[in-house]
Structure 1
C-alpha cells in the first residue's frame, strides 16, 4: 500500500509548489552576439566511452567494446573534422573516461576545445544522497583538472539527470554554467527556490541529440528507427529557426554515435550549412555562457 505522503494528488499546495520551484528558468539571456554575428552555434560531445556500461555495474564485454569505439574511431574523426573547419567545441567527460584516456583529453584541450564535467562514472545524480553527489562532482573536477591542466567551469549532468541538490553544489563549486536542462531554446539564468543564482543554463534537448535517433539495445528491443538523412533534416530545421530568430543552436553528440562512418557526414553537412551563412559564431559552451552572462 502506498504511503499517503507519496500520493501526489494529496500534497498540500506548498509542497508541490516547492518541488516545482526548486530549480526554474529565470531571465532569458540572448544578448547581441559578438562581432555582429546573427546566430551562435555551440557544438558539444558527451565523451562517455565505456562509462555507460560501467556505471550500472555491467559486465558486457560487447558494450564495453562499443564504448571503446568512441575513442578509437569516433574521436579521431570528430577532431579531424573540427580541425578542418577551424571550429572549437565542448567535450563533456566523465572522470572515469578521462582516467582511461588521459592523452585523449589532453589533446582536446591542447587543440583549444573545452572540457566540462559529466559525472564520475556517468551516475544518476537523483539516485544519490546529497553528500555522495557532492563528493563525486568535486572529485570529478579535481580529476579533469589534474589530467588536462584546465579546471572545468561548466557541467552537463550524466543523462541530464539533475537532482534537487545539483544546483546548490554547482553554486558551491563556483561553476559558470550548466547544460542539462530544457526550459528554453536560448540561454537563461537558473533560479533556485525563486532566487537568481547567476548560473547560466545552456539548454539541451533530445531533439538535438544524436543518441535517441541511433540508439541500439538488445535488452529492450530498441533499434535505430530513422535514417541519417532524416536526422540531418531535423538538425538543419533546428538550426535554421535558431538563425532566423537570432538565437543559439546547441547540439549534443556522442563519439560512438556520430563518429560512425555512415554518420560523421551529418556533422560536416551541418557545419557547412552554418558556415555558408557567413554570420554565424561557432563557440564553446564556456564562450556562450561568458557572453550570455553580460545580461545578468
Structure 2
C-alpha cells in the first residue's frame, strides 16, 4: 500500500505494518526508575514552569491586546512570584521557554538562570509540531535551541514540546540534537528510556501528565467552553493526592505549571501550601529535570 493510499484509507483498513509503525515511532522502553533517590530521599519532586507568556496568542495569529496582555502577566507578576517562592524554599526548578518568549524577555531568562534553575526548549513560538509542513519542525527546534543558548548562556539539554505535541519526527530530531531528555510523553509515572522503531535511543523520558498540569483546570478563553472549572483548593487536592501516592511508591512527582496561570494570587498560594505539605513529609529530593535525567541514567534499578 502506497503512502498516498494509506493517507486516504481508514484506520481499520491499515495493514499491520502501518499501524505498528505508528505505535513504534516513540515507545516506552526500559524503566529508568532508580532503586533509591539521593541521600536516602523517599521521593523525587521535579517542579517545572512553561513560560509561554505572549506566545499562545502569537502562535494563533491573534493580535488581540487583551489576550497578549494575559501572557505578559506571566512575565510581570507570575515569574517574580514563582522565583520568590522557590528562593524561600531553596528549591531548584526547570523553566521551559518558547524562543520567542525568551527573546521578548531575555532579562527574565538570565535571572532564572542566575537563580540556579534550568532552561529547556519549548518550541519556537509554541507551534503545534503535528501541524507543521515537512522539515519545518527540525529547523524551528534547532533555531530555538540556538536562541535559548544565546539568551541564557547555556545550551539546553532537555525539551518539552509545546502542548506536548510530539510528531512522528520529533524523537529523531531529539536524537540528532543529542539532547539528554524529553518531557512530553505519558507512558508511565516514572522515568523511562525512549525507543524508536524498536531501537533504544538513550534518551530519557520524564513523563508529564495533564492531571499534573495547572492549565486544564484554570485556563480561560472567552467565547469558548474553556473556563476555569476547578477552584484552587480542588487543584491543590488533586496535586497533593498525586504527590502522596508518588511518595508512598517511592517514585517521581513531576508537576507542570505556567507563570500566567499559577502566578495569580489565589493560585500561587496553593503552590506554597503544596510545597509546605511536600516538605512536611520529609525525605524528598527537589531537583531540576536535567538532574533527574542524569541521576536516572546512572542509577536505573
Deviation at 1:128, TM superposition (A): 1.5
Alpha-carbon separation, structure 2, partners of 1:126 and 1:223: 25
1:293 aligns with 2:292: no
Match of 1:23 in 2: 26
Question: 1:6, 1:279 → 2: CA distance?
Answer: 54
Report what 2:103 is aligned to.
99
Quick check: 1:51 aligned with 2:67? Answer: no
Out of 254, 261, 267, the position equivalent to 1:263 is 267
Q: Determine which of 77, 81, 88 is the counterpart of 1:84.
A: 88
Match of 1:36 in 2: 40
Is it true that 1:158 corresponds to 2:162 in the alignment? yes
The equivalent residue for 1:10 is 13
Task: State how far apart, in whole Å, the 2-side matches of 1:294 and 1:3 are.
Answer: 45
Of the three residues 189, 193, 200, the one matched with 2:193 is 189
Q: Which moved more, 1:14-23 or 1:204-213?
A: 14-23
Are residues 1:75 and 2:67 paired? no
Question: 2:245 — aligned with what?
Answer: 241
Gaps of 5+ in 1: none
C-alpha distance in 2 between matches for 1:93 and 1:226: 26
RMSD of aligned Cα (Å) = 1.2
Secondary structure of 1:276's match?
helix
Equivalence map 1:86-235=2 (5 Å): 86-235=90-239
| Residue aligned with 1:221, SS | coil
Whole-Å Cα distance in 2 between the matches of residues 6 and 236 of structure 1? 45
Distance of 1:128 and 1:221 partners within structure 2: 26
For residues 204-242 of structure 1, what are the alpha-carbon distances to aligned partners after superposition, in whole Å with 9 as ceiling and x for unaligned? 100000000011111323211111101100000000000
Q: After superposition, give the CA deviation of every residue in 1:62-85 in whole Å (9 maximum; x if it has no partner).
A: 110000000000111000000000
Other structure's SS at 1:226 match = coil
1:280 aligned partner? 284
1 CA distance for matches of 2:228 and 2:135? 38
Specify the SS of the correspondent of 2:262: coil
Structure 2: 5+ residue runs without aligned partners?
none
Q: When the two structures are superposed, what TM-score results if normalisation uses the length of structure 2?
A: 0.96
> How far did 1:35 drift?
0.9
1:219–1:150 CA distance, 2 compared to 1 (3 A): same
Q: Which moved more, 1:110-119 or 1:219-228?
A: 219-228
Partners in 1 of 2:128 and 2:73 — Cα distance? 23
Taking the aligned partners of 1:125 and 1:224, their CA distance within structure 2 comes to 26
Q: Give the length in aligned residue pairs.
A: 295
What SS is found at the alignment partner of 2:277?
helix
**TM-score, length-scaled by structure 1:** 0.97
Question: Aligned residue for 1:64?
Answer: 68
1:22 is displaced (CA, Å) by: 1.1
Regions of 4+ moved over 4 Å: none
